[in-house]
């Protein structure tokens, strides 16, 4: 790692201020950032830890939604949403491994927007609102491609508001080495429709599969997916699976997610 | 430099660290607690697992500065002061749950975290919990068996005796 | 009844206590006063000509002690190769130079260009980034078959081509084999890839070089399976340091699996730099660095043809293999696809005619050398896969076809130059059928199908050759080393024993199992025996631990030395008891005069050896310490039969291992618990090779599987509990313990069982799939199913 300064503010305001310094970077749980720093692929002047900001931690009900502090760890989300949003709880319990889940945070994951991460699928399928120190961003506007989001420089995800669907499930088919999603599909049925978000598959990162959503809106059954397919062009092709394989998996995994949710 | 103070295996430890100093590095280089091992740089092998405030954490993927004020437990603090192995350590020895020993500290610390939350895990739960702990020697057979035994389960029916 | 001590017992491992309490002493735990750290600047291109390496800016960076480049190693020896293969035309292999730091060219991603020594590891890395390298990039040579075509870019400009050797074995059989295949009633042909693997012991490599100016002695602490071999190779061939001025210490080593046999550039560098700088120099590999600097394993591309007569008897076998050497010849690389592979092609079968052709090829990839099994897994995989394919083509039961062709009479001289001393392949297959409950397979298949999964059963046999020897034979085969092992047994005055062995334990549990043997011979408690290993300063010259040789060769040396001890102790006892040596019996630690009640305890005799008051000083010297070097008469031949059941998810191609059973014949067993553990580990690695692991380069020579993020290591939830059995025992006839070796069996016997099972599963669903190359990832299985 390159040398950097370390700061651990206790309020959002102080964190924002610290992040105003040139080349300062926010540190969530560090489960992706620290390995990246070890490879010397990032060169922050200062790392601003968000782990000391009490108001950014924890899960609480918020009307028909749940509000999750941006610095809440995966393990905390798993425990806190087991009853209120079981599909989200199960997703959180499948990220990384137990030790990673004790450090990694929802805000860190969403800010990083790895194309194979799990949380982006949950946020997009739930129609989440990404709350930052400056504004609120709808999930549909937030994810903007590989490792790219609507966040501005120095902007912090303070909270994530997840509407709780009537039925939901996250189905993850893992890449054998990293155990990230080779394809992960989050299906969420709301009173006014179905949202299907796919992670791991696309070169553009997480996306909504609108054809599946339309088909499932009328018939929330795995059979509704029959005959639908995503275009293999635009899928990720690598040593773990071709574009065609990923496109095929999107259909299979979506059906499984629907079956489990229905 | 950042001044850090933490409690490690019940003793207070302080030091000056760089921002980039990892908890694993602080334990190994500053405190001489070389039982915590580093086997990868992508946060996957788990040889470095310690407990931070009671939770299993990969110490190679946590800054030492982040552990300021924390309670740390490492492999060196697991046996009784007179050297008596704890129940997990003893089960690993009884069931040959280690060979080269390099992954072992992380395995024992992960197993301890598992059994704290889930005192009688099933075989499958143990295997899934160890997702972040790689072992190249044992094929995991005797590790899983040892953890089952440490949780008081009868492992006499487990194959290969 | 299980024994509670001695040979055949399973005492708890004594080394576990330090490993379980964090008090082991691995190389990275060693920090010497004032040590500096080295960071290697490694090539990020596969092939290039070094135009210039400008270190001037880097040298001025904070903390930098000195920067070394290839120029600093001109006049220093290169890394030697320990085995010279002679090709089928009688010519010796092409053997390129292997400089410690690149000179003129880089030849693989990871080839070290410069080494920065600095006060801290991060300073060294900072400075390495400031080195300006001007490079003329050259086309990368990656595909082996392309590499040997006329006009191909050469990895080594001074060699005539990229072909290291073209080996034929047995060359005299070639025409007869060709004819037998031409005349056969049936020929089954299979083309396959034995996937390139990375050993990945959990402990990355580490080297700490030290130099004592007062004594002129260099010391290297290193993660090695064979410190004496490193001392000899590095001292004699690279740095020119005589053994008496060079000490190599391999303390606790966190797994090796072959990858820590070899002498590596980083070891030579740290030793060299410590002397040049008069300061200890430490290198700790990161895992990412390990992927591009540890020797890889396997990487064979093979065509195999099995000929059968009208009664399904095997009549001939012909193979053609391209074996990747990588960019340089690692220490034992040339021996792996030849003498460790061709000699095993008979397997468990009485095929009368065999011809093996191997073309070893240089490519712009990391060097390839022995990895757990080394050549024998490659032989077993192709043979057991082609037999399975033949059975399916002929519509016969794969087990029955094997049984029909088993070797049943021993000793058996194969047509590939080795003689199996003992074995009972029918017995291990019978045992396998029992422990794997093969008769219940149909019901289990039906249950899997009822839940939408395809179930397959794969069965295969294996034979392995361990404890390569004797030295005079391996010398003729090209080995530049002897393959004996040594032991010094030092009995102390009060009867306790220290055994100094040339074997090295890096997970095998020698500190526990070796004392079982000696305690049994003398009749004393095991805790009176301590094992020392891993330090050239206090152990006799030995060849180390690999190839499942430690007990068969190292253990035999220990037995021979202990026999000398006992013989001398009997003389002492005879003197004190006023009897003839021939009448002295040793049992349960007591010397007695046969037929009398006159006896002496072990401790009385050992004390007399060191306090020789009442002692036959005119006949024998005081003291009780003996050394033996044991050079085996032959290889040992463990064998076994393995069964794997898989489920395949037809929608995704994902394979899960539902059960795995192994019936092995290791001859006599010293510690069944440790043997079980060795087999478990081998099976885990074998399943890893079959389903998960693959080291992949792209056509530019970039390593795509460069970390655990892309190289899939087997995890606990990828694997089941295994059923292992080693009750079938045909003891080795030519070593004193009757042992054969068990370390590699699992890695050898497992991959074909898994692949056979997957093919069986797919064929059960009517899929026309006869082969899938490893690793059988979901994507590959799905692609195979969907044509």
8 Å CB contact of A241 and C777: yes
In chain A, the residue whose alpha carbon lies closest to the alpha carbon of B3 is: A6
**What does the domain layout of chain A look like in residue ranges?**
5-48, 59-163, 167-261
Residues of chain B with pLDDT under 70: 159-161
Token reading at C160: 């005539």
C708 to chain A, any CB pair closer than 8 A? The answer is: yes
pLDDT of C468 reads 84
Q: Which residue of B has its CA nearest to C662?
A: B160
CB contact under 8 A, A249 and C652: yes
- Average of per-residue pLDDT across C89-114: 97
pLDDT of residue C25: 98
Find the mean pLDDT for residues A6-16. Answer: 97
Q: What is the pLDDT of residue C2?
A: 63
Phi, psi of C449, rounded to the nearest 5 degrees: -65, -35
Query: Tell me: domain B2-76, CATH 3.40.50.300, correct?
Result: no
Contacts of B143 in chain C (CB under 8 A): 716
Whether C549 and C468 have beta carbons less than 8 Å apart is answered as yes
ipTM above 0.95, yes or no: yes
Contact call for residues B101 and B140 (beta carbons, < 8 A): no
Q: State CA C104 to chain mean position distance.
A: 33
Predicted TM-score (pTM) of the model is 0.98
Structure token digits, residue C165: 């050797």
Task: Residue C159: count other Cβ atoms within 10 Å of its Cβ.
Answer: 15
- Spatial separation of the C-alpha atoms in residues C221 and C207, rounded to whole Å: 6
pLDDT band at C240 (very low <50, low <70, confident <90, very high): very high
- Is B2 in CB contact (< 8 Å) with chain A? yes
pLDDT digits (tens, 9 = 90+) for C163-210: 999 999 999 999 999 999 999 999 999 999 999 999 999 999 999 999
Q: What does residue C489 show for φ and ψ, rounded to 5 degrees? A: -105, 115
Q: What's the gap in Å between the CA of A222 and the closest CA on chain B?
A: 28
**C691 → chain A, closest CA residue:** A176
pLDDT tens profile C514-532: 999 999 999 999 999 999 9
Query: CB neighbours of C712 closer than 8 A, spacing ≥ 6?
Result: A176, A177, C688, C692, C693, C694, C775, C777
Q: Which candidate from B123, B134, B145 shows the least CB-CB separation from C715? A: B134
With beta carbons less than 8 A apart as the criterion, state whether A120 and A205 touch: yes
What does the pLDDT look like over C610-620, one tens digit per residue?
Answer: 999 999 999 99
Buried/exposed C390-423: b ≥16 CB within 10 Å, e otherwise: bbbeeeeebbebbbbbbbeeeebebbbebebbbb
Distance from the first to the final alpha carbon of chain A: 47
User: b or e along B94-105 (b: 16 or more beta carbons within 10 Å of the residue's beta carbon)?
Assistant: bbbbbbbbbbbb
Average pLDDT, stretch A121-128?
98
C-alpha pair distances (Å), A205 with each of A201, A212, C115, C380: 7, 18, 40, 43
Chain C residues touching residue B136 (CB < 8 angstroms): 199-202, 255, 257, 681, 684-685, 713
pLDDT at residue number C688: 98
Query: Going by CATH, does the domain composed of A59-163 fall within 3.30.465.10?
Result: yes
**pLDDT score, position B159:** 58
Q: Which residues of C touch A1 (CB under 8 A)?
A: 122
Q: How far apart are CA B9 and CA B52, in angstroms?
A: 11
Å between C17 CA and nearest CA of chain B: 8
Enter the tokens of residue C335: 């021996």
Beta pairing class for C246-249 and C300-308: unpaired
Structure tokens at C531: 């094992």
Domain spans of chain B? Answer: 2-76, 87-150
What is the secondary structure of C337-394 as a DSSP string? Answer: TTTTTGGGTTTTB--SEEEEEEEEEE-SS--B---TTTTHHHHHHHHHHHHHHHHHHH
Cβ-Cβ contacts under 8 Å, B131 against chain A: 96-98, 179
Which residues of chain B from 140 to 159 reach within 8 Å of chain C, CB to CB? 140-145, 158-159
The 3-state DSSP class for residue C614 equals coil
Both tokens of B95, joined, read 């069931």
Query: What superfamily in CATH does domain A167-261 come from?
Result: CO dehydrogenase flavoprotein, C-terminal domain (3.30.390.50)
A132 - beta bridge partners?
Answer: A157
For an interface test with A, give the residue of B53, B61, B125 to mutate (most A CBs within 10 A): B61
pLDDT (tens digit per residue) in C669-686: 999 999 999 999 999 999
φ/ψ region of C595 (left if φ > 0, alpha if ψ in -120 to 50, else beta) reads left
- Nearest residue of B to residue C288, measured between CA atoms: B41
pLDDT in tens, C126-169: 999 999 999 999 999 999 999 999 999 999 999 999 999 999 99
* Each residue's pLDDT tens digit, C449-488: 999 999 999 999 999 999 888 998 899 999 998 899 999 9
DSSP state of C410: S
CA-nearest residue to C202 within chain B is: B39
Each residue of C717-759: pLDDT tens digit? 999 999 999 999 999 999 999 999 999 999 999 999 999 999 9
Classify residue A166 as exposed, middle or buried by CB count within 10 Å of its CB (0-12, 13-18, 19+): exposed
Tens digit of each residue's pLDDT (9 = 90 or more) over C51-93: 999 999 999 999 999 999 999 999 899 999 999 999 999 999 9
| CA C98/CA C92 separation, integer angstroms | 18
pLDDT at B161: 44
pLDDT at C695 over 80: yes
- CB contact (8 A) between residue B101 and residue C19: yes
Q: Considering only alpha carbons, which residue of chain B is nearest residue A2? A: B20
Note whether B96 contacts C202, CB cutoff 8 Å: no
For residue B52, the chain A residues in CB contact (below 8 A) are: 102
Of the candidates A197, A202, A201, A239, the one whose C-alpha atom is nearest the C-alpha of residue A216 is A197
Nearest-by-CA chain C residue for B125 = C717
Taking an 8 Å Cβ-Cβ cutoff, which residues of chain A contact chain C?
1-3, 38-40, 173, 176-178, 182, 238-242, 245, 248-249, 252
For C395-419, where are the alpha helices, taking DSSP H only?
398-405
Nearest alpha-carbon partner for C354 in C90, C166, C167, C178: C178
How confident is the model over C408-418, as pLDDT tens digits? 999 999 999 99
Q: How large is the angle between the packed helices C672-687 and B141-150, nearest 10 degrees?
A: 120
Other beta carbons within 10 angstroms of residue C629's beta carbon come to 17
Domains, chain C: 33-138+200-293 (3.90.1170.50), 296-468+634-785 (3.30.365.10), 484-630 (3.30.365.10)
- Measuring CA to CA, which residue among A65, A88, A58 is closest to residue A164? A65
Give the DSSP H or E segment for A139. Answer: helix A139-142
Q: Taking the mean position of all CA atoms in its chain, how far away is CA C129?
A: 36
CA of C774, closest CA in chain A: separation in Å? 13
Q: Which fold has domain B87-150?
A: DNA polymerase; domain 1 (1.10.150)
CB neighbours of residue A36 within 10 Å: 14
Mean pLDDT of chain A: 97
Residue A63 CB contacts under 8 Å (≥ 6 apart), including other chains:
none
Handedness of CA A100, A101, A107, A113 (dihedral sign): positive
Residue C4 pLDDT class (50, 70, 90 cuts):
confident
CB contact under 8 A, B110 and A98: yes
> In this structure, are residues C640 and C665 in contact, taking their beta carbons and an 8 Å threshold?
yes
Rounded average pLDDT over C286-309: 98
Residue pairs spanning A and C at CB distance below 8 A:
49
What letter would DSSP give residue A149? B
B83: alpha, beta or left? (left if phi > 0; alpha if psi -120 to 50): left
- pLDDT at C1 > cutoff 60: no
Nearest to C149 by CA among C161, C165, C132: C161
Query: Could you tell me which residues are beta bridge partners of residue C529?
Result: C497
pLDDT on residue C75: 87
- Our CA-based measurement puts residue A40 at a distance from the nearest CA of chain C, in whole angstroms, of 10
Q: Which chains are adjacent to chain B, needing at least 3 Cβ pairs under 8 Å? A: A, C
Q: For the CA atoms of C446, C450, C451, C454, what is the dihedral angle to 10 degrees?
A: 40
Query: Rounded CA gap, C394 and C398, in Å?
Result: 10
Best mutation target, C24, C533, C716, to test chain B (most B CBs within 10 A): C716
B39 in contact with chain A, both atoms CB, cutoff 8 A:
no
- Chain B residues within 8 A of A6 when measuring between CB atoms: 2, 19, 63, 65
């Amino acid at each position: 790692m390159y040398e950097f300064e370390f700061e651990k503010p206790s309020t959002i305001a102080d964190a924002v201020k610290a992040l105003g310094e040139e080349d300062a970077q926010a540190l969530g749980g560090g489960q992706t950032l620290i390995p990246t720093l070890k490879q010397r692929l990032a060169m922050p002047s200062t790392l601003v830890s968000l782990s000391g900001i009490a108001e950014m931690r924890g899960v609480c009900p918020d009307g028909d939604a749940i509000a999750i502090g941006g610095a809440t760890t995966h393990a905390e989300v798993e425990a806190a949403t087991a009853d209120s949003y079981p599909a989200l709880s199960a997703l959180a319990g499948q990220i990384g491994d137990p030790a990673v889940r004790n450090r990694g945070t929802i805000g860190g994951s969403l800010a990083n927007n790895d194309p194979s991460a799990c949380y982006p699928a949950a946020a997009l399928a739930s129609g989440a609102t990404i709350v930052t120190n400056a504004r609120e961003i709808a999930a549909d506007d937030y994810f903007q491609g590989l490792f790219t989001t609507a966040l501005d420089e120095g902007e912090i995800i303070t909270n994530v508001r997840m509407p709780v669907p009537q039925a939901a499930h996250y189905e993850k088919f893992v890449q054998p080495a990293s155990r990230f999603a080779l394809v992960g599909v989050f299906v969420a049925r709301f009173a006014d429709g179905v949202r299907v978000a796919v992670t791991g598959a696309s070169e553009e990162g997480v996306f909504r599969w609108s054809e599946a959503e339309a088909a499932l809106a009328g018939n929330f059954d795995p059979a509704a997916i029959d005959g639908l397919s995503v275009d293999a062009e635009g899928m990720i092709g690598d040593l773990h699976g071709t574009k065609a394989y990923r496109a095929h998996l999107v259909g299979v995994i979506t059906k499984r997610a629907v079956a489990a949710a229905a | 430099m950042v001044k850090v103070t933490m409690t490690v295996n019940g003793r207070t430890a302080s030091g000056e660290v760089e921002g980039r100093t990892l908890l694993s590095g602080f334990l190994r280089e500053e405190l001489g607690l070389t039982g915590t091992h580093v086997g990868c740089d992508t946060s996957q092998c788990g040889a470095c697992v310690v407990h931070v405030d009671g939770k299993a954490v990969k110490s190679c993927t946590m800054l030492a500065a982040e552990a300021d004020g924390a309670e740390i437990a490492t492999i060196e603090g697991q046996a009784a002061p007179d050297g008596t192995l704890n129940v997990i350590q003893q089960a690993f020895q009884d069931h040959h749950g280690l060979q080269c020993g390099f992954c072992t500290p992380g395995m024992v610390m992960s197993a301890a975290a598992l059994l704290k939350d889930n005192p009688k895990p099933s075989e499958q739960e143990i295997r899934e919990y160890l997702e972040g702990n790689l072992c190249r020697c044992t094929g995991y057979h005797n590790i899983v068996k040892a953890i089952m035994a440490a949780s008081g389960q009868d492992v006499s029916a487990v194959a290969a005796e | 009844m299980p024994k509670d001590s001695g040979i055949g017992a399973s005492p708890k491992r004594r080394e576990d206590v330090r490993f379980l309490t964090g008090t082991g002493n691995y190389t990275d735990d060693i920090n010497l006063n004032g040590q500096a750290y080295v960071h290697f600047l490694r090539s990020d291109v596969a092939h290039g000509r070094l135009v210039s390496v400008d270190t001037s800016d880097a040298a001025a960076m904070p903390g930098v002690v000195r920067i070394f480049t290839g120029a600093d190693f001109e006049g220093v020896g290169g890394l030697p190769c320990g085995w010279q293969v002679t090709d089928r035309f009688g010519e010796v292999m092409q053997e390129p130079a292997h400089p410690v730091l690149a000179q003129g060219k880089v030849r693989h991603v990871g080839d070290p260009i410069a080494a920065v020594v600095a006060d801290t590891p991060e300073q060294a890395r900072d400075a390495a980034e400031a080195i300006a390298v001007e490079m003329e990039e050259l086309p990368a040579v990656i595909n082996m078959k392309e590499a040997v075509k006329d006009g191909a870019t050469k990895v080594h400009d001074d060699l005539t081509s990229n072909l290291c050797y073209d080996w034929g074995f047995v060359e005299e059989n070639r025409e007869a084999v060709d004819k037998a295949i031409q005349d056969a009633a049936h020929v089954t042909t299979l083309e396959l890839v034995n996937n390139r693997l990375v050993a990945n012991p959990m402990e990355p490599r580490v080297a700490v070089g030290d130099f004592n100016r007062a004594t002129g002695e260099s010391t290297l602490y290193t993660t090695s399976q064979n410190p004496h071999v490193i001392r000899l190779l590095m001292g004699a061939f690279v740095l020119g340091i005589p053994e008496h001025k060079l000490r190599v210490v391999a303390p606790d080593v966190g797994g090796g699996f072959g990858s820590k046999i070899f002498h590596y550039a980083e070891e030579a560098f740290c030793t060299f730099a410590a002397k040049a700088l008069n300061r200890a120099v430490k290198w700790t590999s990161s895992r990412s660095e390990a992927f591009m600097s540890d020797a890889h394993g396997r990487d064979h591309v093979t065509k195999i043809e099995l000929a059968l007569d009208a009664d399904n008897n095997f009549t001939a076998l012909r193979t053609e293999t391209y074996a990747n050497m990588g960019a340089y010849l690692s220490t034992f690389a040339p021996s792996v696809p030849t003498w460790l592979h061709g000699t095993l092609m008979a397997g468990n079968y009485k095929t009368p005619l065999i011809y093996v052709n191997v073309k070893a090829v240089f490519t712009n990839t990391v060097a390839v050398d022995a990895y757990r099994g080394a050549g024998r897994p490659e032989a077993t995989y192709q043979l057991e896969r082609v037999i399975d394919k033949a059975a399916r083509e002929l519509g016969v039961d794969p087990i029955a076809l094997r049984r029909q062709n088993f070797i049943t009479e021993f000793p058996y001289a194969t047509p590939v130059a080795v003689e199996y001393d003992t074995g009972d392949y029918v017995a291990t297959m019978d045992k396998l059928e029992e422990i794997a409950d093969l008769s219940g397979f149909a019901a289990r298949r039906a249950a899997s199908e009822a839940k939408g999964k395809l179930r397959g059963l794969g069965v295969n046999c294996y034979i392995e050759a361990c404890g390569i020897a004797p030295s005079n034979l391996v010398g003729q085969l090209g080995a530049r080393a002897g393959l004996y092992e040594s032991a010094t047994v030092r009995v102390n005055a009060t009867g306790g024993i220290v055994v100094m062995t040339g074997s090295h334990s890096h997970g095998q549990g020698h500190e526990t199992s070796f004392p079982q043997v000696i305690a049994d011979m003398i009749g004393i408690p095991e805790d009176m025996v301590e094992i020392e290993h891993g330090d050239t300063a206090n152990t006799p010259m030995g060849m180390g631990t690999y190839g499942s040789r430690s007990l068969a060769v190292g253990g035999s040396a220990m037995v021979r030395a202990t026999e000398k001890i006992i013989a001398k102790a009997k003389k002492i006892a005879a003197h004190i008891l006023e009897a003839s040596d021939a009448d002295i019996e040793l049992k349960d630690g007591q010397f007695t005069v046969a037929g009398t009640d006159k006896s002496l305890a072990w401790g009385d005799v050992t004390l007399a050896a060191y306090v020789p008051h009442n002692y036959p000083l005119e006949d024998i010297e005081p003291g009780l310490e003996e050394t033996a070097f044991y050079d085996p008469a032959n290889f040992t031949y463990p064998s076994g039969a393995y069964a794997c059941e898989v489920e395949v998810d037809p929608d995704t191609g994902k394979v899960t291992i539902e059960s795995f059973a192994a019936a092995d014949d290791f001859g006599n067993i010293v510690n069944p618990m440790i043997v079980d553990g060795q087999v478990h580990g081998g099976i885990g690695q074998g399943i890893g090779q079959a389903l998960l692991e693959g080291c992949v380069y792209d056509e530019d020579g970039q390593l795509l599987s460069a970390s655990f993020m892309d190289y899939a290591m087997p995890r606990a939830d990828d694997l089941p509990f295994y059923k292992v059995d080693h009750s079938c025992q045909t003891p080795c006839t030519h070593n004193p313990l009757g042992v054969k070796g068990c370390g590699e069996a699992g890695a050898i016997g497992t991959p074909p069982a898994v692949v056979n099972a997957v093919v069986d599963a797919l064929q059960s669903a009517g899929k026309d799939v006869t082969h899938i190359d490893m690793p059988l990832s979901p994507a590959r299985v799905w692609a195979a199913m969907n044509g």
